Amino acid sequence: MPHEAINFAKITAEAAARHAENGWPKQRDEAWRFTDLNAIREMTLAPAEVPSVTTESAPPQDAKDLIQFINGIPQGIDKVALKGVEIAPLSTDSARSSALAEAVPSGHSVADFALAHAKDGVVIAVADVGADAVAPPLTLRFDYRGDGISSHAVIVVDVAAGANLTILEEHKGDGVGLSAPLMLLRLGAGAELHHARRLIEGDSRHHLGLNLVQLDTGALYHGDMVLAGGDIARSETQIAMTAPDAKAYLNAVYLGRDGQMRDITSRIDHDAPDGQSFQRVHGILDGRAKAVFQGKVKVARYAQKTDGNQMSRTLLLSREAEANTKPELEIYADDVACSHGATIGEIDADQLFYLKSRGISTEDARQFLIEAFLVDVVDALDEPARGWLLEAIAAWLERG
Amino acid sequence: MPLLEIKNLHASVGDKPILQGINLTIKAGEIHAIMGPNGSGKSTLAYVLAGREGYEVTEGDICLDGESVLEMEADARARAGLFLAFQYPVELPGVGGMSFLRAAVNAKRLAQGADEVDHIAFVKIVREAAARLGIKDDMLKRAVNVGFSGGEKKRYEILQMALLEPSMAILDETDSGLDVDALRIVSEGVNALKNDAMGVLVITHYQRLLDYIIPDHVHILADGRVVKSGDKALALEVEKTGYGGFTDAA
């Protein structure tokens, strides 16, 4: 059994050793230039333990389409009953464990940290059940509780060739803690994954997440995210298009206030011809909040006819808020259409006055302009999950 | 009681004094025109009356229905019955026209203690008012002023005026950028809205708008002061002689 050479326990042990040696990245590391992890470095954290199954932690009885994670540890995965979807522990799946180990970028401290203390991972395998039998969305609900706990969820999603899945992923909860979810999302030829995420954790939590996406020929990944919670919150997505004709959308709305940090990092590798990637990131910052959007698009020499677009817009509601954008286009092919654009601005005084001159209160006028600022990214959100994502935006705006 | 009373109004933008003691009284049912050369303070006066931030009144008072509006922000003045038709209407990308119009009308209705307007009924009211101004349905569906031509923007201003039914309307260079046909439509729109309870202040550089909206009184503004007042004949005099003589007199 040669595949046992790299089992899950070995992967986590190696990651733990790397993280112990390397620690958290410093700001002199280019990928972390704008994100100061001192607050995390200074935390005393104990990895989450398997919770006792209480009424509180047990998922609802009828949760056929839900996996609940308490502090990153999945609960009752055997209850899920979606046509074509199989859920299993990762530790008993050495092939996928190996795939994960191979996919993790070397020296990536967030990935190492997630793996280091993961008790087990979850495999979500989706089969092609035919176009007329598309399963309802699978909800991944991450609940965080207690203080001084780090949560390590490791998930491998395999969408088979021609299969289609929608995931609604939510992270919420209070207490002082760190969430470090790691996901490997593998899409077979012609597969589709619609992946909507609401990151709405409490103000005292930190979140460092990494999603690794692998796209086969003609596969489509549609990632939509609202990042509206946590103190330091970073969401990183790496997409590898290793076969032709793959397509990816990455839409993100980030919202920050007080002294919060928002970090949206992406890397898209176009390693095959005819790939398309569309990124749209809109952020709103109030108070002393800071944010960075760093998006790298790399187009290999043979990845001709690549279409890569990136647009980032930030609205600053306070003079003390700070936004940084760092687009990086690395293009080696000569027949491509790649573009990026970035704007950072505040509420326009002329527009505000125009609305007020019609009797609309300052508060309502600002609301109009904030919602208007989000229109383009909201339009780009995947239809089925749009309302679900908009709820998270509305809740943040209501808190004022 | 006068509808609008401007008393010894001095105003500055930044540290620069622009208005230097304007006196003007407008009664209900009257149309007044303010004419003046570029830089005379016409647009500043419009913004000061509407309550734009950054336009600071340093002396004097502005009273609407006998109440000073100086402490009121622009939105409160609008709800109290003041309306400014902008010289350069502002584009609001992402703000849907219908929700904008409804918010404006509802803000005023709520301030008057009335219920919010019924959604379906409102759409009908807007469509009818728009049709009278030659505003097409698809313009109503677009974001506010986005992709509108100059003439469409001005018509859209008058549509807002029609829906908000102000007691005191200020038209800031509404004729600028309009061809003859658009000028006629806009003017007819204003004339149709005019009534005995309403005052109108037309701010313009040229006389031609006053061929359509006939003023009861004409005032010449120069260097931040009203240097001469008269009737319609004064506008015709300006047309012939230009503003030269008036600025020297100031």
Tens of pLDDT, residue by residue over A358-379, are 999 999 999 999 999 999 999 9
Contact A356 B94 (CB under 8 A): no
Most B CBs within 10 A among A352, A356, A374, hence the mutation to make, goes to A356
Identify all chain A residues contacting B104, using CB atoms and an 8 Å cutoff: 358-360
Q: What is the pLDDT of residue A2?
A: 44
Domain assignment present for A355: no
Q: Which residue has the tokens 């929700």?
A: B99
Is A135's pLDDT higher than 80?
no
Q: What is the pLDDT of residue A1?
A: 41
How far away is chain A from the Cα of B39, in angstroms, using its nearest Cα?
20
DSSP category for residue B41: S
The answer to whether A373 faces chain B, any CB pair under 8 Å, is yes
Task: Classify residue A102: in a domain, yes or no.
Answer: yes
A59-88 pLDDT per residue, tens: 555 678 999 999 999 988 888 888 899 999
Helix/strand/coil for A136? coil
- What ipTM was predicted for this assembly? 0.97
Amino acid letter, B248: D
Measure the CA–CA gap between B138 and B142, rounded to whole angstroms.
7
Q: Is the CB of residue A363 less than 8 Å away from at least one CB of chain B? A: no
Task: Tell me whether residue A400 is in a domain.
Answer: no
CA distance B17 to B41: 10
| pLDDT tens-digit map of A191-224 | 999 999 999 999 999 999 999 999 999 999 999 9
Chain A CA closest to residue B170: A357
Q: Cα–Cα distances in Å, from A195 out to A111, A262, A290, A384?
A: 20, 20, 26, 11
Number of structural domains found in chain A: 1
Strands B16-26 and B4-13: antiparallel
A94-128 pLDDT tens trace? 999 999 999 999 889 999 999 999 989 999 999 99
Q: What average pLDDT does chain A have?
A: 93
Tell me the residue range of the domain where A103 lies: 8-347
CB contact under 8 A, B92 and A369: yes
**d(C-alpha A72, C-alpha A76), whole Å:** 13
CA distance B92 to chain A (A): 7
pLDDT for residue B250: 42
B50 with A364: Cβ contact below 8 A = no
Confidence (pLDDT) at B244: 84
- The half-sphere exposure of B142 on its side-chain side, counting CA atoms within 13 A, is 17
Predicted local distance difference test score (pLDDT) of residue A57 = 55
| Helices assigned H by DSSP within chain A | 8-22, 38-41, 94-103, 109-116, 349-356, 362-380, 383-399
**Mean pLDDT for the stretch of residues A28-53:** 88
| Predicted pLDDT of residue A162 | 95
Q: How far apart are CA B28 and CA B167, in angstroms?
A: 8
Given a cut of 90, is residue A234 above it in pLDDT?
Answer: yes
Is residue A138, in this structure, part of any structural domain at all?
A: yes
pLDDT score for A60: 59
Q: Can you give the pTM of this predicted structure?
A: 0.91
b/e burial code for range A1-21 (CB count within 10 A of at least 16 → b): eeeeebbbeebbeebbebbee
In the structure, what pLDDT confidence band is assigned to residue A7 with cuts at 50, 70 and 90? confident
Mind listing the pLDDT tens digit for each residue in A247-286? Answer: 999 999 999 999 999 999 999 999 999 999 999 999 999 9
Instruction: Calculate Rg over the CA atoms of chain A.
Output: 21
| The architecture CATH gives domain B4-249 | 3-Layer(aba) Sandwich (3.40)
CB of A355 less than 8 A from some CB of B: yes
Instruction: State the Cα–Cα distance between residues A373 and A283, nearest whole angstrom.
Output: 9
Q: How far apart are CA A100 and CA A113, in angstroms?
A: 14
With an 8 Å Cβ cutoff, are A368 and B90 in contact?
no
Cβ neighbours of B93 in A, within 8 Å: 372, 375
pLDDT per residue as tens digits for the range A41-60 = 999 999 998 765 554 555 55
Residue A217: inside a domain: yes
Q: Tokens 């003390």 identify what position?
A: A320
Residue ranges of chain B whose pLDDT lies below 50: 249-250
Q: Is the pLDDT of residue A334 over 70?
A: yes
| Measured distance CA(B80)–CA(B50) in Å, rounded | 11
Chain B positions in Cβ-Cβ contact with residue A361 (cut-off 8 Å): 75, 107
Give the closest-approach CA distance of B216 to chain A in angstroms. Answer: 26
Q: Is A145 in CB contact (< 8 Å) with chain B?
A: no
